[in-house]
Amino acid sequence: MSDSKNQTDPSRRAFLAGAAVAASVAAIGLKPRTASAAGENLPHLSESDPLAKSLGYRAHASNVDRKKYPNFKPGDRCGICRFFLGKPGQKSGYGGCQIYAGYSVNADGWCASYNARS
């Protein structure tokens, strides 16, 4: 009887080892750094940005057009939105946003995607 069944194919072993290393590197590389996730180093979102315009983003919630956005309620703001990546409940400053990837939004801002944290 041949011992070939007991031996692992070297090319398969090399592939599996390489795949494990690649997966580890990818997992480490994809983990967001705290500062970037919080938006500290991101550019501030402009109200003139096309996505911001389409969602009615205002850097200050007090400037929201209540007739155009009847779902806005006084007190709603980015700092207490579930998509806000800054400190939960943050009252001022800027933080990242899951809706506006690559930008930071004003904690006192608002857009039509607002969804209160639970």
Is 9 a member of any domain? no
Alpha-helix residue ranges (DSSP H) falling in the chain: 10-30, 34-38, 50-54
Is 41 a member of any domain? yes
CATH number, residue 45: 4.10.490.10
Is 87 a member of any domain? yes
Q: How many domains does the chain have?
A: 1
Is 73 a member of any domain? yes
Contact 72, 110 (CB under 8 A): yes
Q: Is the pLDDT of residue 21 over 70?
A: no
Is 39 a member of any domain? yes
The pLDDT tens digits for 97-106 are 999 999 999 9
User: Which among 73, 81, 117 has a CA at the least distance from the CA of 98?
Assistant: 81
Is 10 a member of any domain? no
Is 28 a member of any domain? no
Is 71 a member of any domain? yes
Q: Which domain holds residue 102?
A: 34-106
CA distance 106 to 90: 10
CA within 13 Å, CB half, 3: 1
The pLDDT tens digits for 37-70 are 556 689 999 999 999 999 999 999 999 999 999 9
Average pLDDT, the chain: 82
